[in-house]
Amino acid sequence: MPIPLSVAERLSWLQLIRSENVGPMTFYRLLEQYGSAGDALAALPDLARQGGRHNYRLFPSSSADAELEALEKAGALLIGYTEPEYPPLLRAIEGAPPLISAKGALHLLAQTTLAVVGARNASANGLGFARKLAADLGRGGFGVQDAVVASGLARGIDAAAHQGALESGTIAVLAGGIDKVYPAENVRLHDAIAERGVLLAEMPVGTQPTGRLFPVRNRIISGLSRGVVVVEASPRSGSLITARSALDQGREVFAVPGAPGDPRTRGTNGLIRDGAVLTESAADVLRVIGEAGSLSMGRQYDFDFNTQNLPHPDHDDTSDARPVITELLGFSPVAVDELVRNCQFSFAAVSAVLLELELAGRLERHPGNRVSLVNEH
């Protein structure tokens, strides 16, 4: 069952996820291990020291307080993974954001969501198609009711999709902070969505969007959604990253065919060649989603904030495992299960060493529960 966060827990969660080298998967492992964000925060410096980092600094509680105040000033809320307002499908993906800031009609987050994404330099035909597609998806059909359209508020297809879905409901996932409009030309659309739809952001309030944040944003667009429709996309388009995220998350991928020779449709035509559903109207999308029925929710984390969920590994085992695990790791990702199979130590000991290395900035996590050493060159 959903569990609202107390004021103290929300502050601790924010402090933990903003602390150095704590990504979503590390956040959940820390909560599983220690039972509460407060206890995990207390353990972080020592864990980082065991991994070789001696100057680890926690995110200050004063900075967490200031971020919450800035969110309130912006008219936004901070929603935790366990809370009832958190989007249910997003909760099911690997590496779901522990906290998201949201502004607008939050009831839309509980409705069936379909993503529409595509090229920034879209054609006039593409823009018109995206607007009509989004409007038609919002009307539902084929057993799909109250459909909401998600996109990334970029220029081009994203903006057109939001415009088409304003009446029925739309969710804009931002690459930067919830208070930052990007691109500037979409300021009116940004404000309209804040009033009639929902703005979502994983990054701290005040964060300017940068190139590295857009792929991170894209996994949320697909994670919210039952399916992703790509209208126009070049072979190097960020929309194809969203489509790949959707496939990794077990979601449907749809693509609108385009004219041969147009670089803006080579990506979508390639998706169709690779098995995406050829899409000529909203009916093509709604029929597939309706026939698929309910979607498996995957793993759901269930935290007891008053108890330690997992036993701490034996100190001697962890000390003995540390050099062995470090030697087994390389710059190419390897499955954690494979590491366990190739050493004589328990899963708890291996997990503890990996956590130490990650907090020290020496380990990187990859999709599919794989890890690698950080290549600093």
The domain ranges of the chain are 103-292, 315-373
Q: Which CATH architecture has domain 103-292?
A: 3-Layer(aba) Sandwich (3.40)
Q: Are 324 and 343 in contact (CB under 8 A)?
A: yes
CA 69, distance to chain mean position in Å, is 24
Measure the CA dihedral 171/176/181/186, to 10°: -50
Q: For 4-71, what is the HEC assignment?
A: CCCHHHHHHHHHHHCCCCCCHHHHHHHHHHHCCHHHHHHHHHHHHHHCCCCCCCCCCHHHHHHHHHHH
Q: Are 101 and 76 in contact (CB under 8 A)?
A: yes
Tell me how long the chain is: 377
CA 293, distance to chain mean position in Å, is 23
Provide the edge-to-edge strand list for the sheet that holds 334-335.
334-335, 370-373, 363-366
Distance CA(237)–CA(52), nearest Å, equals: 39
Strands 198-201 and 170-174: parallel
Give the list of residues 6+ apart from residue 183 with CB closer than 8 angstroms, or none.
Answer: 154, 155
Q: Which residue has the tokens 């979503």?
A: 24
Q: Which two tokens stand for residue 369?
A: 């529960």
Distance CA(36)–CA(38), nearest Å, equals: 5
Distance CA(47)–CA(53), nearest Å, equals: 9
Is residue 49 classed exposed, middle or buried when 0-12, 13-18 and 19+ CB atoms within 10 A define those classes?
A: middle
Amino acid at 75: G
**E strand residue ranges, the chain:** 77-80, 99-104, 113-117, 148-151, 170-174, 198-201, 227-230, 252-255, 277-278, 334-335, 363-366, 370-373
Amino acid at 176: G
pLDDT in tens, 76-124: 999 999 999 999 999 999 999 999 999 999 999 999 999 999 999 999 9
Q: Which two tokens stand for residue 355?
A: 């956590």
Give ∠ CA 305-308-313 in degrees, rounded to 5.
Answer: 150
Distance CA(372)–CA(252), nearest Å, equals: 30
315-373 has which fold? Answer: Arc Repressor Mutant, subunit A (1.10.10)
Tell me, what's the pLDDT at 344? Answer: 83
Give the list of residues 6+ apart from residue 125 with CB closer than 8 angstroms, or none.
Answer: none
Distance CA(298)–CA(103), nearest Å, equals: 27
Flag residues of the chain having pLDDT under 70: 295-311, 377
Q: For 210-228, what is the HEC assignment?
A: CCCHHHHHHHHHHHHCCEE
pTM recorded for the entire structure: 0.93
